[in-house]
Amino acid sequence: MAQTGPAVRPAVVGRRPSKRFIAGKAVREFLADECWDRAASMTFFGVLSIPPLAVALTSVLALIGQGESSTQAVLDVLTILAPDEEALETISAPVTAVLRHPAAGLSFTLGLATALWISAGYVGAFGRAMNQIYGVHEGRPLWRLTAWHLLTTVILVAFGTLVALLLVVSGPVARAIGTVLGLGDTTVLVWEVARTPVLLLAGVLMVDLLYYATPNVRHPRFRLLSPGSVVALALVALVSLVLRLYIQTFDRFDITYGTALAGVVVFCVWLWIINMALLLGAELDTEIARARQLVAGIRADVAIQLPVRDSRATERAARRRAADQARAKSLRESHGWFDDDRPKGDHHTGTGTGTGTGTGTGTGTDARTGSGTGTGTGARGDSRNEDARG
């Protein structure tokens, strides 16, 4: 008689992976990888990194003569996304300070370099979370990893600068560009319609860059507009709206944390939710890639099969662990404890036989009373062979 049990949904429909299986697996892996904790770590580094990153972006915009207008355009967008005014003030305060007291020359260079160095901490935290998602260890040497994080941060700042400039290009600026190109006022209409999709595309590209560049995994190619990045940005917009509605309806942060800390707490919660959305998008991309490998016959049941970028740091760490274990074992044995957990004085060799009931026979010499022979039975059925020392 055939056994009955719960129905198992197929992971493959026809020749393509089941979307329901991929989505469910992404959520389960998100929970298994404890991504909410990873997102909290990223939030900490984000709180440290975002103000310097904003300062770096503002400094670059000021250098090209678009500091005030571009920054105001960026703040207008953040006004839409930020859950409340206190959270927006957390970001806008350092930016406003830079606009009021712009640096130049060596001060500008040192300030920009310091801001980029601090901002690279968030990229590093993102990379560690991505390594957890892919199930790999960080194998890149420290110098290479640091340089890679700095390069990624510089590219992100460049993307941010481009986005800020795109926000400024409207009205008279777009009309002037259209006049140069011979398009007239048509450029203004086209740009006003296309500006929002272009900004969304730039945001997706920045997320895709984080997904591609930060983990110690060598992807076959850079994937433009990955499903994970699109879903992540959609979730960011959705949760920002929900959080804003919640704060406007049930605002109790100022009562619980006080007026001084309420804005910081709201900003941290908002950033934490954003980071969770980004990691969920990364899990989705990973499960899509895993499903494709499974359909292609690649054994990716346990982990996705992708080569690592570098394994030197991992191998060096493994050698250090082996050396530490050898020294620890030597320390234990030097104090008379061996692998069988018996003191050095009781360490012996011998043979013995026993039955299933725990009886046995053995012969040996007694080293404590002299020399002699004897036979006996015991519950353990072991025998000893020791040197007689009289």
Q: Which of 212, 214, 49, 51 is nearest to 117 (CA)?
A: 49
- Checking if the pLDDT of 89 tops 80, the result is no
Whether 283 contacts 26, CB under 8 Å: yes
Q: Which two tokens stand for residue 242?
A: 């929900």
Mean per-residue pLDDT of the chain: 75
Rg (CA), the chain: 32
- Checking if the pLDDT of 272 tops 90, the result is yes
pLDDT of residue 251: 65
- Checking if the pLDDT of 100 tops 90, the result is no
Output the CA torsion sign for 178, 183, 188, 191: negative
Reduce the DSSP state of residue 375 to 3 states and report it.
strand
How does pLDDT run across 232-257, given as a tens digit for each residue?
999 998 988 888 888 777 666 677 77
pLDDT of residue 372: 45
How does pLDDT run across 27-78, given as a tens digit for each residue?
999 999 999 999 999 999 888 877 776 666 666 666 655 556 666 666 666 6
pLDDT of residue 50: 73
Q: Which two tokens stand for residue 247?
A: 């704060």
The answer to pTM > 0.95 is no
pLDDT of residue 189: 73
Which of 137 and 89 is assigned the larger pLDDT? 137
pLDDT of residue 91: 66
pLDDT of residue 327: 94
pLDDT of residue 248: 75
**Which region among 43-57, 144-158, 312-326 has the lowest average model confidence (pLDDT)?**
43-57
Highest mean pLDDT among 47-56, 62-71, 189-198, 309-318: 309-318
- Checking if the pLDDT of 329 tops 80, the result is yes
Domains in the chain: boundaries: 15-305, 311-343
**Which region among 66-75, 151-160, 288-297 has the lowest average model confidence (pLDDT)?**
66-75
- Checking if the pLDDT of 151 tops 80, the result is yes
Reduce the DSSP state of residue 200 to 3 states and report it.
helix
pLDDT tier at 384, thresholds 50, 70, 90: very low
Phi, psi of 375 (to 5 degrees): -125, 160
Burial of 127 (0-12, 13-18, 19+ CB in 10 A): buried
Q: Which two tokens stand for residue 46?
A: 């984000």
- Checking if the pLDDT of 282 tops 70, the result is yes
- Per-residue b or e along 168-199, where b marks 16 or more CB atoms closer than 10 Å to that residue's CB: bbeeeebbeebeeeeeeeebbeebeeeeeeee
- Distances, alpha carbon 359 to alpha carbons 348, 356, 373, 381, 386, in Å: 20, 8, 19, 5, 21
Reduce the DSSP state of residue 365 to 3 states and report it.
coil
Whether 247 contacts 83, CB under 8 Å: yes
**Which region among 252-261, 295-304, 366-375 has the lowest average model confidence (pLDDT)?**
366-375
Q: Which of 130, 137, 66 is nearest to 321 (CA)?
A: 137
pLDDT tier at 209, thresholds 50, 70, 90: very high
Count of residues making up the chain? 390
